[in-house]
Amino acid sequence: MQRPDMEAAAKTLVETAYAKVNVALHVRARRDDGYHALESLFVFAEDGDRLEGQATNDGAIDLLIDGPFGAALDAGADNLVMRAARGLQAYLGEQRGAAIRLTKNLPVASGIGGGSADAAATLRLLARLWEVRIEPEELAGLALDLGSDVPACVASVTQLVKGRGEHLARHKVERLEGLPMLLVNPGVGVSTGSVFAGWDRQDRGALDAGSLDMLIKNGRNDLAKPAIAAAPVIAQVLAALQGADGLLLARMSGSGATCFALFEDGGAMAQSAVAIRAAHTDWWVMETRIRSV
């Protein structure tokens, strides 16, 4: 991916944009600013999109996109990677640029924070490439300007997230991190805005993330019903996951359409993945684990 104006020995750095999963997502109210007041437990997969980059001296930000879902994205100024790079560059007054390659392994508009994770990984990547120090509070401010999920994706650790995404707290849950996790997307995109618009405005109570058992028993995704109304195939994905042996929890992530399943062990996850791939050859399936940091 080297450009002609780059030194032959230019250093290439790599970041993973870890897939984000909402183990539970409680919508409490619609705020006066138009955003929704949320309570959610975010976890991150060990896998995701891949970004690699090299610093340049001309100030230009160049983006190349490839990978299984790369064709679904445009590399123009509105791409979240470009917006993150330009935002950080402007904030720092940085004169250097970068050549970035995004390998898009995650489905687009799928409820697992692909674009947000890409933006966050870009911020991490460029801070390393340009060898700059930036305080966490400053980075969080830049991240929130890019999207509600971006601040949580910067650290990509298990977090309790409240508000529109601006209130974050590291939150370990015993037995949760390291669990095998299966991600399944039926190949349809749903509009986040339309799913939130379909929320019935009923506050069904606060999120209790004190234990894995409470997350399984009382946790929920308040966006599942409007998402299924928009894309009924989501219900088929959940049904396919809920019948698996060794299952701990199956639920939709974010505003859909990706659903996830947590398993007691990797063997049970692998068996479920085989069965789903055989029955639904057009669905996207990823076997991973919850990231432990």
Please tell me the predicted confidence (pLDDT) of residue 3: 45
Whether 11 is catalytic? no
The terminus-to-terminus CA distance of the chain in angstroms comes to 31
Please tell me the predicted confidence (pLDDT) of residue 220: 98
Strands (E), the chain: 12-30, 36-56, 61-66, 97-103, 159-163, 167-170, 180-185, 247-252, 259-263, 284-289
Which of the residues 47, 49, 62, 149 is marked catalytic?
149
Domain residue limits, the chain:
12-170, 180-289
Please tell me the predicted confidence (pLDDT) of residue 4: 42
Which of the residues 20, 47, 104, 222 is marked catalytic?
20
Residues 6+ apart with CB under 8 A from 131: none
- Considering the segment(s) 12-170 as one domain, its CATH architecture is 2-Layer Sandwich (3.30)
Whether 172 is catalytic? no
Q: Are 123 and 142 in contact (CB under 8 A)?
A: yes
| Residue 187 φ/ψ region, left for φ over 0, alpha for ψ in the -120 to 50 degree band, beta for the rest | left
Name the CA radius of gyration of the chain, rounded. 19
CA angle 29, 31, 37 (to 5 degrees): 50
pLDDT tens, residue order, the chain (293 aa): 444 444 444 799 999 999 999 999 999 999 988 889 999 999 999 999 999 999 999 999 999 999 999 999 999 999 999 999 999 999 999 999 999 999 999 999 999 999 999 999 999 999 999 999 999 889 999 999 999 999 999 999 999 999 998 999 999 999 999 999 999 999 998 999 999 999 999 999 999 999 999 999 999 999 999 999 999 999 999 999 998 999 999 999 999 999 999 999 999 999 999 999 999 999 999 999 999 98
Query: How is residue 88 written in tokens?
Result: 């950080």
Fold adopted by 180-289: Alpha-Beta Plaits (3.30.70)
| Residue 168 φ/ψ region, left for φ over 0, alpha for ψ in the -120 to 50 degree band, beta for the rest | beta
Please tell me the predicted confidence (pLDDT) of residue 34: 83
